[in-house]
Structure 1
């Protein structure tokens, strides 16, 4: 069905003229071969606004950030990626551009600059601190040296940690992989792959 906004201004004016001359909606609809609802809408618009011209519709407004402010915002994010949107807004306001947080968020999203939160690390508990302090006190006078360790970890946690005595040979390494890696994978709930 054709919508009233698609009719020419002349055709809409003709609807209004026929209505003023006393024609009914059904007669106007048949005469001009238009849906009755379109005729009704054109007449209602004329009675309300006093015109049949196409008026400017509300829509997307002009950009609130000018090109200089946009460059400044991108550069600020690149130099300080930990800056919050609120701080960015304050920085822009200090330079003379006041915009909302949603405008900043939309601008950053349009430029592929998406925020992320650092993964929370578990805090050390008292038992961890005591164990570390105990280990440090026990090994305070041990002097220098080196130690070889083998360990593994995954997103789900840490696996086994083994101390390697002497020089590790190929056979030793394969043995560790066969025993400790499989056990660690099972404890970490990793798949067989």
Structure 2
């Protein structure tokens, strides 16, 4: 559960005054409409520090300087495919060592979120050259000829197997999917 709103200074002072008058935690809580645990916490703070105001919050200081944060934000906005690892390395070269979690927290604090790029099969140089050759060879083909062509592909999706945790006896199975498209639409 998140932090609730702080009690006013007057309420805190009333709790301490009632405690000095000899009232118990429950009685004070009922009289002021506060929880017994809240009353106890305020009284313990008063006994320890002789004050009822909130002390400044403690916690680790941000490891990334304001200038480093600006550098991160600029790089992510200019190059959206930048990875957290790239940002960690950039900061390390600038003299600041941080974890990827710190990078994520910083991006989140500034309204940016990370996502993983969809995995696609990598094209080998030979594939790139073959595609480029095909495109160059067919530059002069008239538009009407492309209307007669259907493009297709197939893929195998494993239900239970190497790519997932087996949950069924006697092997898994897979599904073959086939799809196509042409100038007339998808199929």
TM-score, normalised on structure 1? Answer: 0.48
Compare the two structures and name the one with the higher strand fraction: 2
Higher helix share: 1
